[in-house]
Amino acid sequence: MAHIVVLGLVLTLVAGVVSFAVLVRKIHAKPSRLPQSIPTPLLLYNLWVASWLVSQYLGFYLFPTLSRPVATKINVAMGCTIVILWLAWLRSHLVLVDQFLQSHVSRLARRWVEWCAWALMALLVVGFALWAVNPALKLVGLIPYVMASTLVFPVALAASVLLAIGARRQQDNDVRRALTVLSSLYVVLFALDTALGLVVWGLIGDPAGLSVDLALELAYNVLTVVWVTRYADAFAEATPSEGESAQGFDALCESFKISAREREIIELICQGLTNREIASRLFISVGTVKDHNYTIFQKAGVRNRTKLAQLFTQPAAHRDQARAAARQASGMRRVI
């Protein structure tokens, strides 16, 4: 079994480094509306897997040679690290889902998971500290550990289902198709991980269970990289020439009576920044950004950020049609 652990550790490290490098390069290769945080869950996931495999290796070779108190303290520290990485990865997965959907439900789910993750982390650190001081208090540290390890994949599965539901509401056909594929892959993967953690592991035993677990963990790397490589173009921003782009952008802003602050926000939206990133860049609150977004959508006659970015980056030949459509939409609103 030890050779499986060593092989898994090597494969995980190699796959993690390669996957992270490919994602970062692909996302920054050209202007894109893909969330810039896509590599973060991948990085945390691989750190978590590597830490878990290291703990397995230490359990086989190091712990039997140490005294029981020392082995217990090292085991406690490793277990605490692994669970914290679990929760950090889960939070980053919810952040990614929220950045894809930008909906009230995704924001609410993200907020709840963040609160629960911080609460579990605090309980975990306190419980494991007490366990390290007094082995008789082992149960105090095990309770948050068991809760986190049991819930992490079911919650990730629920977030992936939320992504699948939100994908159907996307206006852009290419984006809708891309998010549907990504959410379907995540649903299958996390359903298998949930089944492995709750049922299968106890039935098939350690060596086989470890092999299946490593296969699923490597699949997470491969699926994410393949998806970004295949569907990054669906989120790509149009890139007209600089002169034409600047002239058309100014004309649209004047036509829609866009204010200076709204113009700054439109420029950042066209660069693919999220509401939170725009708020940080302009030193305003996220709520203020959302208020400006609503006003901009009303003036430009669009329904979402995707259509707004397309409107302000599309070739000049289509801008007259866009202005006409916006004026017609504005006239309809006045009539209503």
pLDDT in tens, 181-228: 999 999 998 888 888 766 644 444 455 555 666 677 778 888 888 888
Burial class (CB in 10 A: 0-12, 13-18, 19+), 68: exposed
Domain boundaries, the chain: 2-235, 242-335
Q: Exposed e or buried b for every residue in 232-260, given b needs 16+ CB within 10 A?
A: bebbebeeeeeeebeebbeebbebbebee
pLDDT at 203: 44
pLDDT at 15: 65
pLDDT at 232: 79
pLDDT at 186: 92
Q: DSSP secondary structure string, 270-298?
A: HTT--HHHHHHHHT--HHHHHHHHHHHHH
Q: Which of 15-24, 202-211, 268-277 has the lowest mean pLDDT?
A: 202-211
| Top-tier CATH class for 242-335 | mainly alpha
- From its phi and psi, is residue 258 left (phi > 0), alpha (psi between -120 and 50) or beta? beta
Q: Domain 2-235 is of which CATH architecture?
A: Up-down Bundle (1.20)
Instruction: Inform me whether the pLDDT recorded for 75 exceeds 80.
Output: no
pLDDT at 334: 40
C-alpha span between 90 and 109 (Å, rounded): 12
For the question of whether the overall pTM of this predicted structure is more than 0.75, the answer is no
Task: Give the model confidence (pLDDT) of 313-324 as tens digits.
Answer: 765 444 455 445
Looking at the chain, the whole-number percentage of residues with pLDDT higher than 70 is 74
Q: DSSP secondary structure string, 149-198?
A: HHHHHHHHHHHHHHHHHHHTT-SSHHHHHHHHHHHHHHHHHHHHHHHIII
Q: Comparing 189 with 242, which gets the higher pLDDT? A: 189
Tell me which residue of 251, 229, 249 sits closest to 238, measured CA to CA: 249
* Count of all residues that appear for the chain in the document: 336
C-alpha span between 186 and 164 (Å, rounded): 9
pLDDT at 243: 41
Q: Comparing 115 with 76, which gets the higher pLDDT? A: 115
Backbone angles phi, psi at 271, to 5 degrees: -85, -5
pLDDT at 169: 83
123-144 mean pLDDT: 75
20-25 mean pLDDT: 69
pLDDT at 314: 66
pLDDT at 246: 56
HEC secondary structure over 20-40: HHHHHHHHCCCCECCCCCCHH
Looking at the chain, the whole-number percentage of residues with pLDDT higher than 90 is 9
pLDDT at 265: 92
58-71 mean pLDDT: 74
Contact criterion met (CB below 8 Å) for 130 and 141: yes
Q: What does pLDDT average to over the chain?
A: 76
Please give the structure tokens belonging to residue 46: 């691989």
Tell me which residue of 299, 313, 227, 319 sits closest to 271, measured CA to CA: 313
10-14 mean pLDDT: 64
Residue 65 — very low, low, confident or very high, per pLDDT cuts 50/70/90?
confident
41-58 mean pLDDT: 79
